[in-house]
């Protein structure tokens, strides 16, 4: 009896062990050294003096900023430049160039001959070469791609395994700050040899009605005599459908499963199901994989446009580069969530990953929070934009790079279209047409359910060559005067604003006189936040609004950009110091610029928006003309200066600006109170807002985006730091130098003030206010408890805020 009991327990343990899929995240225990070291992958190499780091890691974000880093002498053809000039800060002026090594040791418990071991990299910048236990595993060229290796035959079954990764970043390899290092996650996946292949599950919803959805699941597997069972669970974990089969076609199972009365995924209701897929040999469970998905229907129709779940809508989207401001490119879910929360409040419903493959975390959050996604792949094809760009690998790597992108991300309901490229020089000529077709065919082969676009800037050329006509979705980057002609010549019956606006502004900075115009420059290397300045190839937001509102065949826009990013400091890319962009609706710290409220007033009409600009601290401008703009979803408002009416303004169609903004152009500045009263369609007051001339800075104020963190050593609170006068009025011109100290179970991670000309290093615990504000980042430790941030500045009453982690 005792022996039988032992046998049952043993068999149960064997069964559990047989089905177990273990994922080991290699985030701790890394050693890092920048520079060449040909022996770094050897088992006995001494790395005791190397820097200890955690992964994800960006080695370059710590600076310092230096104008000599990657100084490029070039003509930016896509910007219409004819002759080469010196560009400083184009890639952020941060030290990303060079070679580096990462080393780690890991062990795999209970490993035996029945197991398969996969080594997965979600991104490595760049050209990684991977070694395990002294032997080369493989390499991958594209720094934005996800890739994996089967290391079953190289791994030690007992004891430690020595992993080494060599990275190399060349100069002139990017047009923006690319980051450096193992900036996304590294994982070891241990599973049975009879199992689901890596990224081997493909879920689509080919039929969707209110009463019934058909869920099609294709599962690629390895092994003999397999059966599959899939259980679909709703968001609460309740089983809603189940299917089992032993019928396999080659290496692929295909299941069609009915889900009754489905909850449909949309930005307004981002409902997610989970497919739990189980693989058996006989009665022995061999593998289990959980895949989140959404049930939704997308259509693109001529003269009708884009529809989601049967409802026509337009994309209210923004473009995002992959850096996260002061923490660089090292992926962090809290930072991504904050970005998306800010965009959601603006009314944004779509994201374009520009100009590269998105992180898996970003897609997960867009699924959860409700953002449609344009997943982009490349900024270069075979013809170069920069000397050491992707064109070096296009012929040999482009197919495998696209296959990995598609297979790794195709189950995300947020993705509603793919992009195979952005402003590629290949838009010219027959060879470019062939390349566009080749890439689009790969997308169609690997995912027949989503269309493909390209961000085109050479629109005339694509009209003549047939390039634009072959695309599923013709995407126009700017080129507003060509929209009508493109619509007539392209056969698709609709146009996407794949990149729009490129308006430039600096948060809280205003220039006089207030005149709309391109390529404006000032001695302080800032741009005016009256939102009337743009680039030679671009425009202001209102010009795009007209097309979005008046042309049913324009299916939406993706604004350049949602947030400022490191590098590409147009219009000051020939000036120093200037090391980050001015395009953002929000600045590099994630603080909204005035433009945020212009977009919000149009994109989120179900909520009140009432925003006044400029600030009202203009010592020395008394009596001078200081125009006042109001961004609001109301059609009219009355403005008052110190109680005196400046008149009522109503939106009208005389100019695009008059259509979307309320503007009082002749206001004379006098200190005091600026007040706006919004009026309904009957002329009755419905909302009001006022701002005041502040006295000198007196006290530091702190406000966190959230007060409770997860005690995982990764979570971050973003604390907005500002100063107010004795009456509590914000001081919009304050530039005080502040210091930061964190105590308790947290650490100071970084600070950022949004000033594109600042050369202060983000990770040091001191920074100067810019336009009266900055943001400090507090990171949790692995221990729960209290956290306190204290901010001090000379002559100011200090600020404190209490956080906690658990």
Annotated catalytic residues are 423, 499
Count of CB atoms within 10 A of residue 158's CB? 8
Show the tokens assigned to 769. Answer: 């206010």
Q: Which residues pair with 164 in a beta bridge?
A: 103, 131
Q: What is the largest CA-CA distance in the chain?
A: 100
- Measured between its terminal Cα atoms, the distance across the chain in Å is 47
Estimate to the nearest angstrom the gap between the alpha carbon of 672 and the chain centroid. Answer: 41
Rounded to 5 degrees, what angle do the CA atoms 126, 129, 134 make?
Answer: 150
Q: How far apart are CA 441 and CA 424, in angstroms?
A: 18
Spatial neighbors of 351 by CB under 8 A, at least 6 apart, are 317, 318, 319, 320, 340, 343, 362, 366, 371, 372, 373, 374, 558, 562
CA torsion, ordered 235, 335, 317, 386, to nearest 10 deg: -130
Token pair 């008394």 in the structure block, residue = 622
Cα 644–650–654 angle (5° rounding)?
130
Write out the two tokens for 404.
């990995």
Short-list 537, 539, 543, 583, CA closest to 560: 583
Q: In whole angstroms, what is the distance from residue 517 CA to residue 460 CA?
A: 24
Per-residue H/E/C for 737-803? EEEEEEEECEEEEEEECCCCCCCCCCCCCEEECECCEEEEEEEECCCCEEEEEEEEECCCECEEEEE
Residue pair 403/442 in contact (Cβ under 8 Å)? The answer is yes
The CA angle 62-65-71, to the nearest 5 degrees, is 125
CA gap 348, 355 in Å, rounded: 19
Both tokens of 113, joined, read 């001959």
What gap in Å lies between CA 423 and CA 419, rounded to an integer?
A: 11
Categorise residue 244: left if φ over 0, alpha if ψ from -120 to 50, beta otherwise. beta
Q: What are the start-end ranges of the H helices in 421-498?
A: 429-446, 459-465, 467-470, 483-489
Provide the Cα torsion 188, 189, 191, 194; round to 10°.
-120
- The three-point CA angle 245-247-248 to 5° equals 120
In the block, residue with structure tokens 């850096």: 323
Can you name the residues that pair with 364 across neighbouring β-strands?
A: none
Answer whether 756's CB lies under 8 Å from 177's CB.
Answer: no
Parallel, antiparallel or unpaired: strands 644-650 and 662-664: unpaired
Residue 513, token pair as written in the block:
């006189």
φ, ψ for residue 15, nearest 5 deg: -65, -45
Displacement of CA 317 from its chain's centroid (Å): 12
Nearest alpha carbon to residue 476 among 411, 585, 556, 552 = 556
- Residue 493 CB coordination number (10 Å): 15
Pairing of strands 415-422, 372-376: parallel
């Amino acid at each position: 009896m005792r022996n039988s009991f032992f046998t049952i327990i043993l068999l149960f343990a064997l069964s559990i062990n047989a089905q177990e899929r273990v994922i080991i995240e290699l985030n701790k225990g890394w050693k890092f050294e920048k520079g060449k070291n040909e022996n770094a992958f050897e088992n006995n190499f001494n790395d005791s003096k190397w820097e200890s780091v955690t992964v994800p890691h960006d080695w370059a974000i710590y600076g310092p900023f230096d104008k000599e880093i990657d100084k490029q002498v070039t003509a930016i053809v896509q910007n219409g430049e004819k002759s080469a000039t010196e560009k400083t800060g184009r890639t952020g002026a941060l030290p990303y160039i060079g070679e580096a090594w990462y080393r780690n040791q890991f062990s795999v418990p209970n490993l035996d001959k029945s197991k398969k071991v996969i080594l997965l990299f979600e991104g490595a910048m760049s050209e990684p070469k991977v070694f395990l236990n002294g032997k080369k595993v493989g390499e991958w060229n594209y720094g934005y791609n996800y890739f994996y290796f089967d290391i079953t035959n190289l791994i030690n079954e007992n004891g430690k395994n020595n992993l080494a990764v060599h990275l190399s970043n060349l100069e002139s390899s990017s047009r923006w700050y690319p980051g450096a290092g193992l900036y996304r996650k590294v994982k070891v996946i241990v599973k049975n040899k009879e199992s689901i292949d890596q990224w081997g599950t493909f879920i689509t919803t080919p039929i969707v009605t209110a009463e019934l959805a058909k869920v099609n699941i294709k599962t690629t597997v390895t092994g003999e005599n397999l059966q599959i069972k899939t259980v679909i669970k709703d968001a609460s974990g309740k089983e809603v459908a189940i299917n089992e089969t032993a019928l396999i076609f080659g290496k692929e199972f295909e299941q069609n499963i009915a889900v009754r009365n489905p909850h449909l995924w949309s930005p307004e209701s981002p409902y997610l199901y989970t497919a739990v897929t189980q693989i058996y040999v006989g009665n022995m469970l061999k593998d289990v994989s959980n895949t989140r998905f959404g049930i939704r229907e997308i259509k693109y129709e001529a003269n009708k446009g884009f529809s989601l779940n049967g409802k026509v809508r337009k994309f209210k989207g923004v473009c995002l580069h992959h850096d996260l401001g002061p923490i660089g490119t090292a992926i962090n879910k809290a930072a991504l969530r904050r970005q998306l929360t800010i965009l959601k409040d603006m009314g944004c419903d779509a994201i374009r990953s520009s100009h590269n493959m998105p992180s898996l975390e970003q897609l997960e959050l867009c699924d959860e929070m409700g953002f449609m996604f344009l997943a982009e792949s490349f900024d270069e094809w075979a013809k170069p934009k920069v000397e050491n760009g992707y064109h070096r690998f296009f012929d040999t790597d482009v197919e495998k790079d696209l296959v990995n992108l598609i297979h790794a991300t195709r189950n995300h309901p947020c993705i509603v279209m793919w992009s195979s490229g952005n402003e590629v020089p290949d838009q010219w000529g027959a060879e470019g047409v062939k390349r566009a077709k080749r890439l689009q065919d790969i997308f169609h082969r690997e995912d027949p359910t989503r269309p493909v676009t390209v961000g085109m800037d050479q629109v005339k050329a694509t009209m003549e060559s047939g390039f634009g006509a072959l695309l599923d979705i013709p995407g126009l980057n700017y080129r507003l005067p060509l929209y009508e002609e493109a619509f007539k010549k392209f056969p698709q019956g609709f146009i996407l604003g794949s990149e729009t606006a490129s308006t430039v502004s600096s948060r809280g900075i205003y220039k006089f006189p207030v005149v709309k115009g391109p390529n404006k420059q000032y001695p302080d290397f800032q741009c005016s936040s009256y939102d009337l300045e743009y680039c030679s190839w671009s425009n202001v937001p209102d010009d795009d609004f007209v097309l979005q509102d008046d042309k049913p065949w324009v299916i939406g826009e993706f604004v350049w950009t949602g947030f400022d990013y490191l590098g590409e400091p147009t219009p000051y890319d020939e000036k120093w110091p200037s090391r980050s962009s001015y395009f953002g609706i929000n600045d590099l710290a994630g603080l909204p610029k005035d433009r945020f409220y212009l977009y919000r007033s149009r994109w989120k009409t179900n909520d009140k928006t009432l925003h006044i600009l400029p600030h009202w601290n203009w010592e020395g401008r008394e009596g001078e003309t200081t125009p006042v703009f109001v961004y609001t979803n109301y059609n009219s408002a009355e403005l008052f200066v110190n109680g005196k009416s400046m008149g009522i303004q109503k939106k009208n169609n005389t100019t695009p600006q008059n259509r979307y903004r309320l503007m009082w152009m002749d206001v004379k500045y006098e200190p005091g109170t600026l007040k706006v009263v919004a009026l309904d369609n009957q002329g009755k007051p419905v909302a009001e807002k006022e701002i005041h001339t502040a006295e000198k800075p007196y006290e530091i104020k702190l406000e966190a985006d959230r007060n409770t963190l997860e005690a995982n050593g990764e979570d971050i609170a973003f604390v907005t730091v500002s100063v107010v006068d004795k009456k509590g009025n914000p001081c919009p011109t304050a530039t005080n130098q502040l210091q930061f100290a964190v105590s308790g179970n947290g650490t100071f991670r970084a600070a950022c003030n949004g000033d594109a000309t600042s050369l202060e290093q983000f990770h040091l615990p001191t920074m100067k206010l810019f336009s009266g504000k900055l943001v400090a980042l507090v990171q949790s430790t692995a221990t729960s408890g209290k956290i306190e941030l204290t901010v001090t500045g000379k002559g100011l009453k200090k600020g404190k805020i209490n956080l906690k982690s658990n």
